[in-house]
């Protein structure tokens, strides 16, 4: 069976800087990197990269639809609309109605009052399992639980944008984003789908989520610092609210409707396992072996800043691609967006390929880049578990 080329024909991006593919290229792809947008006050001692002011009605017209979503769902639905607009598909009912959908999403937001009450009571009790059994049946509202299901993002995209082909949702933190892109690419490559909407959204501005990061000792405390500088003072994640969706198409399908493409996806490799150094290096090495990285002109990294995984990632990138490889940890600019990390990385790589230049250094530790990259490697290693690598290539490559 002949594999089909997978073109990226639409990009929808929302981050702390603003919205839109072209806007993000103009913001991040200039001669110098912009100052990061950081909120260091609301969630002390943590920083977050917050959402800008959003007019949700631009992509979610009905107020009733907006009201029944929380920001994690709004972000994905909004970015999906941007991608459809960018691909010139938004008003094409025939193509949108037959479009497949793949989403990476986490769980929804929690009832903070109940959580706070239980945590307070747990301070004075040793039988905490019994405490949970006592409190949750009475205080956990079934309707709240149903409103948090991860596949509601896909449901809202189908309702708002009329994307009514097949639909699937992946959970699993950073790995969900990798798997969603990998699944979408393989389905188009194998001829199982001709056009597909794929991506994810993440709301970082949640006290419950920051508590989870703290309990796992993954969060960066204190003042903002970019990824490499952060690791010198103990490492950790700075989260960022973001949404990223892409329209992927069979190249022949795109040509037939006269669509332009940013780039193509040359391959995706992923794995999952225990996060000890030797095993992680072995998995990464096997993933590199599956991809043709000979002509890679730079790396777009979703580095989380947590060690040892970020050190392993950078060591392996330099080992396989050379000490002078230009690595751009976009998370220094937008924060770590967990499920949306890999879709953001693929989007930024496609923009660089399309515009025939790489990004400026996002922090002092990053090597300079020159020339017009024909192939860019994207990476996303989970803060806890899971790894992904992908190739984004010029259409002519």
Annotate 114-125 with b (16+ C-beta within 10 A) or e (fewer). beeebeeeeeee
The confidence score (pLDDT) of residue 115 equals 78
The average pLDDT across 257-262 equals 96
Whether the Cβ atoms of residue 187 and residue 117 lie closer than 8 Å to each other = no
Cα–Cα distance for residue pair 304/216, rounded to 1 Å: 14
The confidence score (pLDDT) of residue 146 equals 57
Q: Give me the CATH topology for the region 6-109+148-393.
A: Peroxisomal Thiolase; Chain A, domain 1 (3.40.47)
- Which three-class secondary structure state does DSSP give residue 256? helix
Cα–Cα distance for residue pair 330/280, rounded to 1 Å: 22
**Which of 128-137, 182-191, 311-320 has the least mean pLDDT?**
128-137
Contacts of 138 (CB under 8 A, 6+ apart): none
The average pLDDT across 98-118 equals 84
Tokens for 185?
A: 């690419």
Mean pLDDT of the chain: 93
The confidence score (pLDDT) of residue 1 equals 47
Contacts of 160 (CB under 8 A, 6+ apart): 59, 60, 61, 62, 65, 77, 81
Whether the Cβ atoms of residue 8 and residue 350 lie closer than 8 Å to each other = yes
Cα–Cα distance for residue pair 197/180, rounded to 1 Å: 10
Q: Residue 119 pLDDT > 90, yes or no?
A: no
Q: Residue 71 pLDDT > 80, yes or no?
A: yes
Q: Residue 317 pLDDT > 90, yes or no?
A: yes
The torsion defined by the Cα of 35, 328, 49 and 210, in degrees rounded to 10, comes to -150
Cα–Cα distance for residue pair 199/343, rounded to 1 Å: 6
Name the percent of the chain in helix, strand, coil, to the closest 5. Answer: 40, 20, 40
Q: Residue 107 pLDDT > 80, yes or no?
A: no
Q: Where are the alpha helices (DSSP H) in the chain?
A: 21-28, 63-67, 71-86, 93-97, 112-122, 128-139, 142-147, 152-161, 174-189, 207-215, 227-231, 251-256, 277-289, 309-321, 331-334, 341-355
pLDDT confidence tier of residue 2, bands split at 50, 70 and 90: low
What percentage of the chain exceeds 90 in pLDDT? Answer: 81
CA angle 196, 5, 100 (to 5 degrees): 10
pLDDT per position as a tens digit, 28-64: 999 999 999 999 999 999 999 999 999 999 999 999 9
pLDDT per position as a tens digit, 198-232: 999 999 999 888 988 998 999 999 999 999 999 88
The confidence score (pLDDT) of residue 109 equals 67
The confidence score (pLDDT) of residue 145 equals 58
**For the ranges 89-103, 129-143, 201-215, the one whose mean pLDDT is highest:** 89-103
Q: Could you state, in order of their start, the residue ranges of all structural domains in the chain?
A: 6-109+148-393, 112-144
Q: Residue 376 pLDDT > 70, yes or no?
A: yes
Q: At what angle are helices 341-355 and 21-28 packed, to 10 degrees?
A: 70
Contacts of 311 (CB under 8 A, 6+ apart): 231
The average pLDDT across 15-27 equals 98
Contacts of 344 (CB under 8 A, 6+ apart): 13, 15, 242, 244, 302, 330, 334, 337
- What is the CB-side half-sphere exposure of residue 123 using CA atoms within 13 A? 5
Cα–Cα distance for residue pair 59/52, rounded to 1 Å: 15
Cα–Cα distance for residue pair 64/239, rounded to 1 Å: 29
pLDDT per position as a tens digit, 138-165: 777 665 555 567 888 999 999 999 999 9
Cα–Cα distance for residue pair 47/239, rounded to 1 Å: 8
Whether the Cβ atoms of residue 395 and residue 264 lie closer than 8 Å to each other = yes
Q: How many residues does the chain have?
A: 397
Cα–Cα distance for residue pair 89/77, rounded to 1 Å: 15
Q: What does the longest C-alpha to C-alpha distance in the chain come to? A: 67
């Amino acid at each position: 069976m002949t594999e089909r080329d997978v073109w990226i024909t639409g990009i929808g991006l929302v981050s702390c800087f603003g919205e839109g593919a072209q806007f993000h290229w103009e913001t991040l792809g200039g001669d110098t990197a912009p100052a990061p947008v950081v909120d260091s006050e609301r969630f002390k001692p943590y920083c977050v990269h917050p959402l800008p002011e959003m007019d949700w009605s631009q992509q979610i017209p009905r107020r009733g639809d907006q009201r029944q979503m929380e920001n994690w769902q709004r972000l994905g639905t909004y970015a999906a609309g941007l991608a459809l607009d960018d691909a010139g598909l938004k008003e094409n009912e025939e193509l949108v109605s037959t479009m497949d959908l793949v989403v990476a999403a986490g769980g929804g937001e929690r009832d903070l009052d109940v959580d706070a009450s239980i945590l307070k009571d747990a301070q004075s009790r040793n039988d905490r399992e019994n405490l949970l059994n006592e409190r949750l049946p009475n205080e956990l509202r079934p309707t709240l639980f149903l409103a948090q299901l991860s596949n509601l993002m896909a449901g809202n995209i189908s309702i708002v944008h009329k994307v009514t082909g097949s639909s699937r949702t992946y959970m699993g933190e950073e790995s969900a984003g990798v798997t969603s892109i990998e699944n979408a690419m393989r389905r188009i490559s194998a001829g199982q789908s001709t056009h597909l909407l794929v991506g994810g959204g993440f709301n970082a501005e949640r006290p419950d989520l920051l508590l989870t990061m703290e309990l796992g000792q993954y969060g960066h405390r204190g003042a903002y610092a970019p990824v490499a500088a952060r690791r010198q003072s103990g490492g950790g994640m700075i989260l960022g609210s973001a949404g990223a969706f892409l329209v992927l198409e069979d190249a022949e399908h795109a040509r037939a409707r006269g669509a332009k493409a940013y780039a193509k996806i040359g391959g995706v490799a992923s794995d999952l396992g225990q996060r000890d150094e030797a095993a992680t290096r072995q998995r990464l090495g096997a993933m590199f072996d599956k991809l043709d990285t000979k002509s890679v002109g730079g790396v777009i990294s979703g580095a989380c800043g947590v060690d040892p995984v970020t050190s392993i990632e950078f060591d392996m990138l330099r080992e396989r691609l050379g000490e002078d490889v230009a690595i751009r940890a976009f998370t220094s600019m937008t924060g770590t967006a967990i499920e949306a990390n890999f879709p953001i990385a693929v989007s930024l790589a496609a923009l660089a390929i399309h515009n025939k230049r790489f990004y400026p250094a996002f922090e002092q530790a990053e090597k300079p880049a020159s020339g017009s990259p024909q192939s860019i490697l994207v990476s996303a290693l989970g803060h806890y578990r899971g790894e992904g690598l992908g190739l984004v290539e010029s259409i002519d490559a």
